[in-house]
Amino acid sequence: ARAQPDRYLDDLNSAQREAVETLNGPLLILAGAGTGKTKALMARIAHLQKTGRASANQILAVTFTNKAAREMKSRLEKTPFNQREPVRWMGTFHAICARLLRENAELVGLKDSFTILDTDDQLRLLKQLIVAENIDEKRWPPRMLLGLIDSWKNRALKPAKVPASEASEFDHRGSELYDYYQRRLIELNAVDFGDLLLHMVTIFQEHPFVLLRYQNRFRYILVDEYQDTNVAQYLWLRLLAQGHKNICCVGDDDQSIYGWRGAEVGNILRFETDFPGAKVVRLEQNYRSTPHILAAASGVIDANKGRLGKTLWTAEEQGEKVRLIGHWDGDEEARWVGEEIESMSAGTRGLRPMSLDEMAILVRASHQMRTFEDRFLTIGLPYRVIGGPRFYERMEIRDAMAYFRLAVSPDDDLAFERIVNTPKRGLGDKAQQKIQLAARDNGVSLVDGARILLQDKGLGGKGGAELRVLVDGIARWHDAVRDPDGDHIALAEALLDESGYTAMWQDAKDPDAPGRLENLKELVKALEGFENLQGFLEHVALIMDNESEAEGAKVSIMTLHAAKGLEFPAVFLPGWEDGLFPSQRSMDESGLKGLEEERRLAYVGITRAEEVCTISFAANRRVYGQWQSALPSRFIDELPEAHVEVLTPPGLYGGGYGAAGMAASASPQIMASQQSDLHDKASRADVYNSPGWRRMQARSQSRPMSQPREQRNMVVDAEAISAFAEGDRVFHQKFGYGTVTAFEGDKIDVAFDKAGSKKLLGRFLVEAAQ
Ligand code: ATP
Ligand code: MG
């Protein structure tokens, strides 16, 4: 690389410089969005190396999401200084812990080839445990146990440390099952995500010399998005930082949005107590957004209580007001956004032309994405989904990866179970039980159990012959993986051929088989970026973002959660409706905690925008196949009027509904909502009682619903729970179809068609694909 002048200090303001030049001791940079916290962190990394305080390998830089970690890397590359070596210890908590754990796996009884399980594997394992313990799986679903275990791991609680008050959860078996689960994971030479941190904290606590080694190695620790760390991450950081005490955390209490996942905003509020002698630097100048955008964001977040409070100002030009627009329904909203993006990329209404890369759509719940995807596919607008419907979660990809996993680690029983009869090998339940038994009786893995079974002639016929081919194949692939001169891409291809997996899809008559074969090709292509299969598997386990590699500019679609730390010249924030954003759950909750977290999410959303921020809502939304009418989000009422411009959609909108229908679109309502205090729902509802509006409502109910393209059977994640509403049709694995009747705290009352009324956690419900 050509030498360039070290200019990284030149473009910092004085507060940022102070943050960068205070190298020793604990430092907290506490500041609002867009004030250059991340920028300062990068300059700090440069400065540490420039001043010789630390070499690249002595710097540990952690952040929260994969996207943020990538962003960090690319920003560091752009930081003007002559970097001699790359900073290798830069990444997410999980990625860094995975690497550390590989170096120390034996200390917790693992081999360094351990597998990182995803949710699907976890659930399968928990289900087995629950069945083995004769627990009624209907009453005590694996997902519930998973939620509990996750929450314990987030707090770094090992089974023995689970508080008595919680140990009785899950039919009094919670902590006991957690214990079994942990043992089973070790037997399988596997970890889940929570383990990555939990094991490392354990190792640090129980092996002082190991801790000392890392304390010495990492002279300087830098943490971005500190407000979102959970207890386990916090403990891990504290242990590491106790050596040199050179820890620099940056964060913004107003952007704490992972409380639902165990993040503790208290960590940031307590920093000065935790690290005595800590210095706190505040940054106040925002360099990202125009004054209108900043003022709108501040107006919204002002409604939260219990904030640290910050001053924010900007020297940017006034620019566009935040744009607000109401639509008839979600499809219209997507159609409008698509057209708006097209005209913005051409340059419209005095805005500069923008590339698609400069625009992003940030949604509250991932199910909102689909409408946009469908629309953009129709009009041929290139887009990428970040953290969305994931490539690596598709069935054929998961199958193929199970084969890869077995090649790397033949003891991976979960992978073995997944593919033992895929393609069909005549190894049905009976045969599989025999394999399980042989494995259990001999205390070995399933592959070895299968070998013993074959040796003992315990399985004959077609099944036996096919099983022989499979176990021999696994042995051969495993040898090939260990060959230092081996070509892992050729191996992957051979493996998919020899196992009969590719042929299975070639012979399949399904209409989606060609697509699946394409995906398998994609998968092999993805291997090119890696040195070996193991590296690739680790990458996939850690990075589940689906970013297509195709060239060209694309609009980004992602959840608000995934957008943290990022910025875009133009941001679209659709679906600002009560019940969707803020989520129904946060509105039903007693107390303001949930609602305040939603409001912080709104603040995060608006502050991603540099030049143009467009908020929209729909009067009707089809959620999981059911129409429901909606009221504009209460957060819309909180936008300061002076900084908002209400757009009216063109009259020709709305297909069969005609101009009259759309003319009734939101603008008058919004104006009204800004003139009077409409914070309570009843008065806003009045606005909707006008005859015109009701006519539209009536139409919406008689409107034929378009058929979903494919049967969907998506598991509703925590973010999507919000989307359930009274009257929704839902599906539960055991209870079958039912209708949502009420909400209570985080529970949902469902009247099941066959099983009667039940109270459930939303995450056990699946949208009814009808
Ligand atoms: P967030 O809270 O959203 O993570 P942040 O505080 O980390 O925001 P950055 O992303 O570091 O903010 O900076 C926001 C934008 O402002 C970036 O485009 C960055 O390059 C720019 N910026 C930051 N500081 C300066 C500065 N002193 N001069 C010019 N531009 C700056
Ligand atoms: Mg940042």
Is 365 within any annotated ligand binding site? no
Of 255, 314, 584, 614, the catalytic one is 255
Is 31 within any annotated ligand binding site? yes
Mean per-residue pLDDT, 436-459: 94
Predicted confidence at residue 746, as pLDDT, reads: 62
Asked if 53 is an active-site residue, the reply is no
Q: Is the confidence at residue 172, as pLDDT, over 90?
A: no
Evaluate the CA torsion angle 562, 565, 568, 573 in order and state its sign.
Answer: positive
Q: Is the confidence at residue 663, as pLDDT, over 80?
A: no
Asked if 352 is an active-site residue, the reply is no
Asked if 37 is an active-site residue, the reply is yes
Report the range out of 347-361, 615-629, 725-739 with the highest average pLDDT: 347-361
Is 160 within any annotated ligand binding site? no
Tell me, in angstroms, the distance from the centre of ligand 2 to residue 81's CA: 20
Q: If you ran DSSP here, which 8-state letter would residue 236 be given?
A: H
Predicted confidence at residue 442, as pLDDT, reads: 94
Is the distance from CB of 403 to CB of 422 less than 8 angstroms? no
Mean pLDDT of the chain: 83
State the ligand closest to the CA atom of 33: 1
Of 608, 634, 684, 763, the catalytic one is 608
Q: Is the confidence at residue 395, as pLDDT, over 60?
A: yes
Asked if 255 is an active-site residue, the reply is yes
Predicted confidence at residue 723, as pLDDT, reads: 53
Predicted confidence at residue 511, as pLDDT, reads: 63
CA-based max dimension of the chain: 83
Predicted confidence at residue 600, as pLDDT, reads: 96
Q: What percent of the chain lies above the pLDDT cut of 90? A: 52
Is 38 within any annotated ligand binding site? yes
Of 224, 287, 600, the residue with max ligand 1 atoms within 8 A of its CB, to mutate for a pocket test, comes to: 287
**Helical residues (DSSP H) of 319-459, grouped into ranges:** 330-346, 369-379, 395-408, 413-419, 429-442, 446-455
Q: Is the confidence at residue 679, as pLDDT, over 60?
A: no
Tens of pLDDT, residues 597-648: 999 999 999 999 999 999 999 998 866 556 778 889 999 999 999 999 998 7
Q: Name the residue with higher pLDDT: 647 or 687.
A: 647
Mean per-residue pLDDT, 477-502: 93
Please give the single-letter amino acid code of residue 488: H
Predicted confidence at residue 745, as pLDDT, reads: 63
Which residues have C-beta atoms less than 6 Å from ligand 1?
Answer: 11-13, 16, 31, 33-39, 252, 255, 287-288, 565, 567, 607
Of 11, 17, 38, the residue with max ligand 1 atoms within 8 A of its CB, to mutate for a pocket test, comes to: 38
Predicted confidence at residue 392, as pLDDT, reads: 64
Among 176, 187, 129, 125, residue whose Cα is nearest residue 152 = 176
Whether the pTM exceeds 0.95: the reply is no
Protein residue with its CA nearest to atom 2 in ligand 1: 33
Q: Which two tokens stand for residue 388?
A: 């969305």
Tell me, in angstroms, the distance from the centre of ligand 2 to residue 63's CA: 10
Q: Is the confidence at residue 184, as pLDDT, over 50?
A: yes
Predicted confidence at residue 220, as pLDDT, reads: 97
Tens of pLDDT, residues 87-139: 999 999 999 999 999 999 999 999 998 999 887 788 889 988 998 988 888 88
Is 32 within any annotated ligand binding site? yes
Q: Name the residue with higher pLDDT: 620 or 40.
A: 40
Q: Which two tokens stand for residue 33?
A: 């969005």
Asked if 92 is an active-site residue, the reply is no
Give the atom of ligand 1 at the shortest distance from the alpha carbon of 225: 4
Tell me, in angstroms, the distance from the centre of ligand 1 to residue 62's CA: 18
Among 225, 229, 220, 241, residue whose Cα is nearest residue 197 = 229
Predicted confidence at residue 733, as pLDDT, reads: 62
Mean per-residue pLDDT, 77-82: 84
Asked if 224 is an active-site residue, the reply is yes
Q: ipTM > 0.85?
A: yes
Predicted confidence at residue 650, as pLDDT, reads: 57
Protein residue with its CA nearest to atom 26 in ligand 1: 12
Q: Is the confidence at residue 357, as pLDDT, over 80?
A: yes
What DSSP letter does each residue of 345-356 carry, written as one string?
A: HH--TTPPP--G
Give the atom of ligand 1 at the shortest distance from the alpha carbon of 39: 11
Predicted confidence at residue 377, as pLDDT, reads: 72
